[in-house]
Amino acid sequence: MSKKAFFLILLLLIISGLANAQTSEVVTSDESARCLNCHNSRQKKLVESWEKSKHARNRVGCYECHKADPGDSAAKNGHFGFSVQLPVSPLRCASCHPNQYESFASSSHALAYETIRNAEIASVAPALFESSCAICHGNELKMSNGKPARHKWPNHGIGRINTDGSRGNCVACHSHHEYELAVARSAETCGRCHRGQTGPALESWRASRHGSNWNLAKVHTDFNSTRLIPSDQPLTYPDCFVCHIAATGKNENDSTHNPGERISWKLAAFKSTHHENWGPRRLKMQSVCRSCHGNSQVDLFYRRFDASVMEINRLVARAAEGIASDSHEFEALKAAAMAAKIGAAMMSPIHIRDGFNLLREKKY
């Protein structure tokens, strides 16, 4: 063979190899291939974002997530030979991600609908309820023959009760079809719910040293597979997920889908009390801090934080004298206390100051 012909063949082999690598990325079951036949053109953008996901490279297609039990009220039966459903229950994800599901199911996120179930607004103004409280907390999804009942859809609330009775909703934090980790890791994602009067965690984090350089914090949302804070990375500023969800730094298997697992105080309350078993919970959070800080920084922070929470408890108790516990004033007082306490947890001078002033001057 001439040298020229040899290189030509080599070149052709390389090109065909590259082409194969590209087309062989998306692999589907026969069922999902049939969904794609039609849905490719109906939902072009949606299919494109699915194609970018790890799911598309691992035979997890439309059918694997949207297939339905024909007896479920969410099922659209006889859909070109299939039973499919629009809502995807966390139990479907659990068939492949059991650990994340169990951890999520044990969290107060999964129970968030219980918190609002009996709120007055639910019976007085049901449509308003569905477009306010339920957007964050979740609703009780009602369907018949695959069609959602009035006001009930769309809902991506974190504690949604699904038609199969399961609780919760994985896409409250994960994007529907790309499942890019950078989305779930972003403070903006948590901050869609954790902001303003419902507890200003996003604003408090932003105003603190930890969140004040968001571009650096982004380093965390970008790193690839490992969930540990990698030792070869520079010291960076932590996003919410670094403290509440990611592995603690000691053990790469102790990441959690229960963001309450490392919290010792119940801060979103009128008077804060400790969680049951609060000591071990606190130790877990402290081992996160220690992946970036020395012991004294961490111990001194917790001492000051505890003292602040107790002082705020004392101030609200005093401010509340003579206020009925079901009044608007009481709610406003609670919100001021919550802002101050979350501010203290995240070292936000702004929210401690605001909450303190409101409590002291009763200007809520």
Residues 239-258 binding ligand HEC (CB under 6 A) are 240-246, 255, 257
Nearest-approach distance from CB 331 to ligand HEC, in angstroms? 8
| CB nearer to ligand HEC: pick between 161 and 346 | 346
Q: 36 and 61 in contact (C-beta within 8 Å)?
A: yes
| CB nearer to ligand HEC: pick between 315 and 347 | 347
Nearest-approach distance from CB 67 to ligand HEC, in angstroms? 6
Q: 308 and 289 in contact (C-beta within 8 Å)?
A: no
How many other C-beta atoms can be found within 10 angstroms of the C-beta atom of residue 336?
26
Write the binding mask 50 to 89 for ligand HEC: x where contact by CB under 6 A, - elsewhere: x---xx--x-xxxxxxx------------xx-x-x-xxx-
d(CA 107, CA 82): 34
Residues between 158 and 177 with contacts to ligand HEC, criterion CB under 6 A: 158, 168, 170-174, 176-177
- Does 356 sit near ligand HEC (CB under 6 A)? no
Nearest-approach distance from CB 18 to ligand HEC, in angstroms? 22
Nearest-approach distance from CB 314 to ligand HEC, in angstroms? 17
Q: 281 and 263 in contact (C-beta within 8 Å)?
A: yes
- Does 352 sit near ligand HEC (CB under 6 A)? no
d(CA 156, CA 130): 11
When binding is defined by CB under 6 A, the residue of 27, 126, 214, 292 that contacts ligand HEC is: 292
| CB nearer to ligand HEC: pick between 16 and 251 | 251
- Does 151 sit near ligand HEC (CB under 6 A)? no
Phi-psi region of 147 (alpha: psi -120 to 50; beta: other; left: phi over 0): beta
Residue 308, C-beta contacts closer than 8 angstroms, at least 6 positions apart: 340, 341, 344, 352
d(CA 361, CA 328): 17
Instruction: Please identify, among the stretches 8-16, 18-26, 201-209, 315-323, the one whose residues bind ligand HEC according to the rule CB under 6 A.
Output: 201-209
Number of residues that bind ligand HEC (CB under 6 A): 117
- Does 198 sit near ligand HEC (CB under 6 A)? yes
Using alpha carbons, select from 196, 152, 106 the residue that is nearest to residue 160: 152
Map tokens 């968030």 to a residue: 112
Residues between 295 and 324 with contacts to ligand HEC, criterion CB under 6 A: 297-298, 301
- Does 339 sit near ligand HEC (CB under 6 A)? no
- Does 131 sit near ligand HEC (CB under 6 A)? no
Reading the block at residue 317, the tokens are 């108790």
- Does 199 sit near ligand HEC (CB under 6 A)? yes
As to burial, measured by CB atoms within 10 angstroms (0-12 exposed, 13-18 middle, 19+ buried), residue 343 is: buried
| CB nearer to ligand HEC: pick between 2 and 231 | 231
- Does 200 sit near ligand HEC (CB under 6 A)? no
d(CA 60, CA 45): 18
| CB nearer to ligand HEC: pick between 8 and 196 | 196
| CB nearer to ligand HEC: pick between 8 and 117 | 117
As to burial, measured by CB atoms within 10 angstroms (0-12 exposed, 13-18 middle, 19+ buried), residue 220 is: buried
